[in-house]
Structure 1
């Protein structure tokens, strides 16, 4: 029997966020109806990761695979997830909990964010378009560089006036600074791409800032339940559960 897949997301006070995560996991379940798929959150939403792992154990499973629904290896991946796994190991010493890698970087995320941007009305051959790829932001610089790298690939593959990353918190540039940079590069129309899985406080902050500084920007939706995101979740699971990979130590995250 396959180990249950426990997907863990940030959590948010905004109910749209949890609803979007559940919708993503419904796509995962539809792709793998044979697999026991459960959803957990690190904070602010229920059920919490520790409670879900306890439930998996109580249901008679001796192992589980945790897949962090995180776009990079920032604080949650490096601290919160390992802490929850360590606590589960303390409570259930014979329970084998393995942790998959975070979702990013991966080309499937790039394509999912691109599709959302195109759906919002962005065109690759518009030389007057400036695109901000907006992410949460982190004090962990490599997590921010992932967003910079995606924006650079978009910039190289289009005729846009420019494409730059911006962040809602903890990193620079912010959205107003990114928009100013694009305007200086010749942009006359603007679009906001979403390096977010789900709606919530930070994506709303990004949109509010953009609308204060430019008229009628194109606004891409979060990646949410894009089929390639669901495919990526299952790929991360398979890397650990089905290919015989060893458990990741907390410090490896």
Structure 2
């Protein structure tokens, strides 16, 4: 019996670095589980689309598919776009069992990835002192999603015993520059920014630009293709694959 195929589903970006990073992360998953068929896809702005990937998998004989939304919060894309993707696949391939798992989310292991990326940024900037942090993320029109990021920021700050503010690159205040200036107004002078983004692109670049203009000493790279993220993807897949098993009535 062939295991269900795994499709990672990222948002997509006009920046080619974004698609390349998602492809690298998906390849890392593929290397961890060479027995599985693993493909990447994008909601928009990048190729391939999830429907294109599903068409190819069905043509090859797969009749079970698990979609893993590579989204860090449960917001608009997860609640609207992902269900539309599933419905489109089911309409085109009614005999195929397809399920979407919970979003990737922000696992506690991701804080270790943040630390790793930030240490690299601090070394590159030759910054040896640190007295505050900003956690930058995309932001959402959903206040619950932003509140979740704020909780993660507090956990990250507690991890390092440093004051921390959450900042958002779109939709919600404060922007990274505003957060850095607020901390500077509180007397902090050595402020670093952790990038809670999956991949490079316009929003991470803008967040970094605003932070550095406001006086941040360093801004980390996005999380990128890390084993910690790949392990969570596979954990999501394991749950989704079990959910595809029919339960006798």
Contact 1:128 1:186 in 2 (8 A): no
Structure 1 residues 42-121: aligned runs within 5 Å: 42-121=43-122
**Which residue of the partner structure matches residue 151 of structure 1?**
153
**Which residue of the partner structure matches residue 175 of structure 1?**
176
Runs of 4+ in structure 1 deviating by more than 6 angstroms, as ranges, are none
1:127 Cα deviation (Å)? 7.7
Deviation digits for residues 207-237 of structure 1, max 9, x if unmatched?
Answer: 111121116x211111111110011111111
Structure 1, unaligned stretches of length 5 or more? 248-253
1:91 Cα deviation (Å)? 1.1
Contact 1:127 1:159 in 2 (8 A): no
Distance 1:24 1:196 in 2: 13
Distance 1:107 1:157 in 2: 11
Task: Say if 2:226 is the partner of 1:226.
Answer: yes
Aligned length: 240
Change (3 A) 1:186 1:154: farther
**Which residue of the partner structure matches residue 251 of structure 1?**
none
Higher mean C-alpha deviation, range 98-107 or range 221-230: 98-107
Secondary structure in 1 aligned to 2:160?
Answer: coil
Distance 1:246 1:183 in 2: 52
**Which residue of the partner structure matches residue 243 of structure 2?**
245
Distance 1:211 1:24 in 2: 28
RMSD: 1.7
**Which residue of the partner structure matches residue 34 of structure 2?**
33
**Which residue of the partner structure matches residue 201 of structure 1?**
202
Distance 2:206 2:129 in 1: 27
Deviation digits for residues 40-66 of structure 1, max 9, x if unmatched?
Answer: 000000001111111111111111000
**Which residue of the partner structure matches residue 14 of structure 1?**
15
Contact 1:131 1:193 in 2 (8 A): yes
Contact 1:130 1:183 in 2 (8 A): no
Task: Say if 2:154 is the partner of 1:141.
Answer: no
1:118 Cα deviation (Å)? 2.5
**Which residue of the partner structure matches residue 184 of structure 1?**
185
Higher mean C-alpha deviation, range 104-113 or range 21-30: 104-113
Contact 2:68 2:102 in 1 (8 A): yes
1:171 Cα deviation (Å)? 0.7
TM-score, normalised by the number of residues in structure 1: 0.90
